[in-house]
Amino acid sequence: MSTPTDTRLGWSRWRRSWWYHATYYAQTWRGSVAGTVLFPIFYLAALGVGVGHLVSAHSGLVDGQTYLHFIAPSLLATTTMQLGEGESLWPVLAAVKWIRSYHAAAATPLEPLDILIGKLSWVVTRALATGVVYTIVIGAFGALQSWWSLVLPLIGGLVTLAFAAPFVAYAASVQSDASFIVIYRFAIVPMFLFSATFYPISAYPGYLQPVVQFVPLYHGVALARSAAYGQWPLLPTVGHLAVLLAMSVVGVLWGRRSLRRRLVD
C-alpha cells in the first residue's frame, strides 16, 4: 500500500523527467522560437489576409465569418497537432534506441510511467506556450470575437496531448523509423488539409462529411473555432472533448505498456 510519502515521491519523479526536457530545451530553444513566433504571422498574413481578400471578393463570408476569422483558430489547432507529432516520433525512438536516454532514466528511481508523464507534460507545456503566442498574434490580426479566446492555449494543449500520447506509445514500440514518413504523408498531411481547416465541412460532398467528422484533428479545429467565436453548442462540444480526451487516455495507457516493455521487461 502506498503512503503519502510514496505519492509525493511519485509526483517528484515525473517532475524530474519534465525538468530534464525543459533543461535540454533551454539549450536549443533558439532553433524553434523563430518558427513559433513568425509562422503564425506568415500563415495569417498569407492565408487569412491574402487568400481571405480573394474569398471576400468572390464569395463573401465563410460560415458567417470572414475568411480570416474562419481560418485563424484552425491554424492554432493544426500547429499544435504538428507539435505533438514532431516531439513524439523521432525523439522518442531516439531516446529508446539510438541515444538510449530513457534507458539511463530507467536505471534511476524513475519508472516508465514517470518518464512518459514527464515527456507528455513537457510537450503540453510547449503547446501551451505556442498557443499563447498564436492567440496573441490572432488577436493582433483582429480575428478574435470573445473572451472565450483566452482558452485557446488550453485547447491547443489538449490537441497536442491527444496526438502526442499515442505517437509516443507507437514510437516506443517500434524498432525503426521507416513507418514515420508514412504516418506523416498519409495521416498528418491529409489531416492538415482535410479537417475543415481551410474550408467549412459544408463544402464537402455529403458522403464525405461524416468521414471528415471522424478525423481526429477535426475535433480540435471545431473546439478552437468555438473558443474564438464564443459559441459552444453543447452536444458537439461534448463530443469533440470526448474524442480528444479518449485519444489522450488511450495513448497514456498504451505508452505506459510500450515503455515498460521496452525499458524493463
Q: Is 124 exposed, middle or buried (0-12, 13-18, 19+ CB in 10 A)?
A: buried
For residues 122 and 45, the answer to whether their CB atoms sit within 8 Å is no
Give domain limits for the chain: 4-263
pLDDT of residue 6: 43
DSSP character string of the chain: ---HHHHHHHHHHHHHHHHHHHHHHHHHTHHHHHHHHHHHHHHIIIIIIIIHHHHHHHT--BTTB-HHHHHHHHHHHHHHHHHHHHTTSHHHHIIIIIS-HHHHHHTTT--HHHHHHHHHHHHHHHHHHHHHHHHHHHHHTT---SGGGGGHHHHHHHHHHHHHHHHHHHHTT-S-SHHHHHHIIIIIHHHHHSSSSSS-GGGS-TTTHHHHHHSHHHHHHHHHHHHHHT---HHHHHHHHHHHHHHHHHHHHHHHHHHHHHHT-
Whether pTM exceeds 0.75: yes
For residues 74 and 201, the answer to whether their CB atoms sit within 8 Å is no
pLDDT of residue 265: 67
Sign of the dihedral defined by the CA atoms of residues 179, 185, 189, 194, in that order: negative
For residues 221 and 73, the answer to whether their CB atoms sit within 8 Å is yes
pLDDT of residue 8: 47
pLDDT 10s digit of each residue in the chain, 265 long? 343 444 444 557 888 999 999 998 888 888 787 777 788 888 888 888 888 888 877 777 888 899 999 999 999 999 999 999 999 999 999 999 999 999 999 998 899 999 999 999 999 999 999 999 999 999 999 999 999 999 999 999 999 999 999 999 999 999 999 999 999 999 999 999 999 999 899 888 988 999 999 999 999 999 999 999 999 999 999 999 999 999 999 999 999 999 999 998 6
For residues 118 and 165, the answer to whether their CB atoms sit within 8 Å is no
Q: Which of 123, 174, 158 is nearest to 17 (CA)?
A: 123
Q: Which of 211, 235, 240, 239 is nearest to 223 (CA)?
A: 240
Q: Which of 261, 259, 263, 248 is nearest to 120 (CA)?
A: 248
